[in-house]
Amino acid sequence: MSAFSRFTALAHSLPATVPFVGPEAIERSRGLAVTARIGANESGFGPAPSVLEAMREKAGTTWMYADPENVALREALAFHHDISRDNIAVGGGVDGLLGEIVRLVVEPGTPVVTSLGGYPTFNYHVNGFGGRLVTVPYVGDREDLDGLAQAVRRENAPLVYLANPDNPMGSWWDADSVVAFARALPETTLLVLDEAYCETAPADAIPAMETLIGQPNVLRMRTFSKAYGLAGARVGYAVGTLGNAQAFDKIRNHFGMARLSVEAALAALKDQAYLAVVVDKIAAARERIAAIAAENGLKPLASATNFVTIDCGRDGAYARAVVDGLMEHGVFIRMPGIAPLNRCIRVSTGPEEDMALFSAVLPKVLKRIANSE
């Protein structure tokens, strides 16, 4: 298939792909229906009833663009975190904000430090702007803070990415370690601290918001996609210094937020009681997934997220067979893509009907694989 000849050389060199294969694509390509959608770390518990009601009430306003300055949401977030709205930038989920951060920092050949096997969408954006990824292996299934810091200094990298809690392993560092890591970085290195799973993490894993608010080489990323149950609404935000927050205004799509999504986020932020209920449900579902794994001779890893990573005890080919086998029964899950992390599968928390189906079909899949060897 031919393409326009005057796309940039960089664009011509990139594959036409997305970081993740969606369940819809799997359904189309394999002719299978997803019954238990527990692979994308969405919240199967859904948003609060109050959020759905707010969206219904505001549906008639969708003919209007959203406020390009996102003042109402920034003010609500500022009140929630007890900071200034000027420290907040709103965007289309963490994924969209990551692309904007990379655009602000990365030029062709710029070294960017991240973990080997870490969140692939960040890598996707770095590659899209011609950056050079410098990867550091996990140690003990956690991102290696010392290794990341050493790589930053060795490469004189202007950008480093850390997810805490981590995707895809579900592991985490305590807040003191994260703060020490941030403060030890060179002033010329921007830390992207992805805290997408902060609501489901232990209290001592997340630094207090005021701890890093004045550090100009730190941007903290938050989302409404996980515990708040609004993955399809695409609302995220970055917290940093005034200068960092305003930098997004130089390159962002000012009409990029859907008006109904903003209303949903505002309503979700108000309903902290529902959030607390969901966090408890997530914790219970994590225990359920861990028990299912153990019953089948697999090893669940400790998790601070809304998913559980399960060590299958073999290699990537075996884990892939488990993922594909579960999909044959309508159970959509995912797995890390890089060895040695790809010895694992990753199962998102969800309602009991999803957990029950996973419990019922996992032993069948494992038995079928064993019989085929």
Provide the percentage of residues in the chain whose pLDDT is more than 90: 96
Segment 265-320, tens digit of pLDDT? 999 999 999 999 999 999 999 999 999 999 999 999 999 999 999 999 999 999 99
What tokens were used for 57?
A: 């009430």
The dihedral formed by the CA atoms of 81, 86, 88 and 90, expressed in degrees to the nearest 10: 130
Average pLDDT estimate for 335-357: 98
Least confident of 26-30, 218-222, 299-303: 26-30
CA distance to 84, 98, 262, 319, 349, per residue, from 93 (Å): 20, 9, 11, 29, 20
Q: Are residues 36 and 53 both part of a single domain?
A: no
305 phi and psi angles, rounded to 5 deg:
-120, -165
Q: Are residues 95 and 58 both part of a single domain?
A: yes
Provide the percentage of residues in the chain whose pLDDT is more than 70: 100
For residue 108, what pLDDT band results from cuts at 50, 70 and 90? very high
Measure the CA–CA gap between 355 and 3, rounded to whole angstroms. Answer: 45
| Higher pLDDT pick, 2 / 292 | 292
Q: Are residues 126 and 142 both part of a single domain?
A: yes
Helical H runs in the chain?
9-13, 23-30, 49-58, 71-81, 93-105, 120-128, 145-155, 175-184, 209-212, 242-247, 259-270, 272-295, 316-328, 352-372
Q: What is the pLDDT of residue 1?
A: 59
| 340: helix, strand or coil | coil
Q: What is the mean pLDDT of the chain?
A: 97
Q: Are residues 102 and 184 both part of a single domain?
A: yes
Would you say residue 2 has pLDDT above 90? no
Would you say residue 209 has pLDDT above 90? yes
Q: Are residues 27 and 144 both part of a single domain?
A: no
Q: What is the pLDDT of residue 17?
A: 82
Q: What is the pLDDT of residue 344?
A: 98
In a domain, 3, yes or no: no
What tokens were used for 151?
A: 């790589």
Beta-sheet pairing, 331-332 with 307-311 = unpaired
Three-class secondary structure assignment of 109-154: CCEEEEECCCCHHHHHHHHHCCCEEEEECCECCECCHHHHHHHHHH
Q: Are residues 76 and 224 both part of a single domain?
A: yes
Q: What is the pLDDT of residue 29?
A: 92
In a domain, 1, yes or no: no
How much is the pTM? Answer: 0.96
Name beta bridge partners: 192: 161, 219
Range(s) of the domain holding residue 282: 9-46+273-372
Q: What is the pLDDT of residue 191?
A: 98
**Residues in contact with 58: Cβ distance below 8 Å, sequence separation at least 6, in sequence order:** 259, 260, 263
For residue 3, what pLDDT band results from cuts at 50, 70 and 90? confident
Q: Are residues 278 and 259 both part of a single domain?
A: no
Q: Are residues 36 and 56 both part of a single domain?
A: no
| 219: helix, strand or coil | strand
Q: Are residues 32 and 107 both part of a single domain?
A: no
Measure the CA–CA gap between 324 and 295, rounded to whole angstroms. Answer: 20
In a domain, 4, yes or no: no
CB-CB contact of 106 with 96 (8 Å)? no
Segment 46-95, tens digit of pLDDT? 999 999 999 999 999 999 999 999 999 999 999 999 999 999 999 999 99
Q: Could you give the number of structural domains in the chain?
A: 2
Beta-sheet pairing, 190-194 with 159-163 = parallel
Q: What is the pLDDT of residue 16?
A: 86
CATH number, position 101: 3.40.640.10
Q: What is the pLDDT of residue 20?
A: 86
Measure the CA–CA gap between 260 and 156, rounded to whole angstroms. Answer: 42
Name beta bridge partners: 346: 309, 334
Q: Are residues 257 and 156 both part of a single domain?
A: yes
Q: Are residues 64 and 192 both part of a single domain?
A: yes
| 196: helix, strand or coil | coil
